[in-house]
Chains A and B, each alone.
Chain A
């Protein structure tokens, strides 16, 4: 009978070990279990109940360090709320939406989460997984608190499902010092832009450095060409799929892209170079421009570059108003959040001008909140951007915030084929139109 007895013992032992393992790791000193599942009291701040607020974001290590003071200030003001940051950084924040989606789909959403604008946020809205924050806008007086175009951009069917966090615009960044040496000046028309690229080529440089790996870095350049060739009205229609994608202006845009590549104006073989690595030729003085956003001043600093050497300009489109690519980032509250009231309270706190002024961290430099101004001595270029962004008459969204991801990848596929010259501009435009039709049919 030894066999069975011992096996039973082993079974028991296995169970015990796994139980122990679970117990040991499940009861940490910091006790990670949520404080309770019942809905929060109407007056969250006054409630004595201890609450853990799960805050999903994409803040990287350096950012986490800076945010700590802000979170501490919030917890000091509301001692019954403990904010737990659940950050998923990573290059281009490519996996964050996947992680977020899984947590929501499995019924354990965070209490508030970071989201981009437009089509990236739309699936969450369509699935009914995020709250209409209208009541909180009324309650906390958020109307008028944020840059108007940002608020417009995050609206969906006239409803507000998010609270603006960042207002980000993009332009061409260049090395001022280098340009002065070479005697180059900022172009004001598209023709001048192309002339400038030709001059750079003559000087043995490339004009623009792109990292094509995820598609969106290449897209920024193509978006610029679309804005130039199609003009504001048509560009917007294209983004809304109200105009055919085999329109002549799309063909022209693809043709211009191929021309830039043929002329050697773009750092070659960039299709799977990561956007991160595309800065090497730029910093090394091998490429004259990068199409980057307002955040780039922070990138320059992290890369130990001298800010005084750099400047940016809005790419000339030959249209008025001069539109540039811009997009919002926002905070959202899942419908299944355990503590929506406290989440709104936290959002109110971190988007308030007072708090953002009191804690001038990098993440607040591009705030969507009106009345927050970065230190212009320390952040001269961000300061310059802010004026442009907050006063912008009109902007256009990057295509990846206009198209759903599946259609977007069709767009990227065509874009890559154009770059690699596997398709003529006409073929590319025709394929793009077919992808749009396939999408609309479904």
Chain B
């Protein structure tokens, strides 16, 4: 299950985007999801992200996001129903509760809870897309320009994570060969066996850290400004993605100021379509943000486009 949440290189266009362009695109998607309260805008974003996830070949693993957000949605609905008294269309009045007063379930609270659950699904899907399209190393390399030392620590941790995990399995195997049965014995005995494992892992890892430090010293760590061996190339597709993200962001800011992307839930539900501007701005935002998905489709089917961007 966890493999589906990790980056797997499939040679897709979205995976070949410059990390800055990909981050800007995902940042705009997540930011808009947190700004919009209008259900149509949230639905539009969700549809777009599902298309992007399909373009990143990750639709099979998206079920994890869906399951997780369904679980959280129940909680969001429950909290909203318990504490909101602002809705005027009351569906059911319940008993008096100690802290919250009279239980009062309104249509507005249900709709608000549903819209917020939709928002949660959109935000989770954006992060799922991040896992699919940006390799951690490329992300950290981008960070290294801003904060070299912090990026180095993070890179080392991502490198050491699978190593320490393997080392833990190896140590467990060695202890088993020596007759340590982790499942046998009382709770206290089992705890002592696990402590033996953790202790060995800690000491061997700390010993290895000196070797790591020596290797860093041998490569002139801290002797001057850091050198850069590798540079990401900014290609036309990255410029197009950045421009599309900027256009969507500016349109969303305009829509937010005009009130088109917000929806009034309380005290009574607002009209879903207030004016034509609501639909027009939604069209521009979704159109701009779908550009990377369209380019990705063209990248697969049209070798000429593939070569040009």
Pairing of A with B: no
Chain A interfacial positions (CB closer than 8 Å to B): none
Chain B interfacial positions (CB closer than 8 Å to A): none
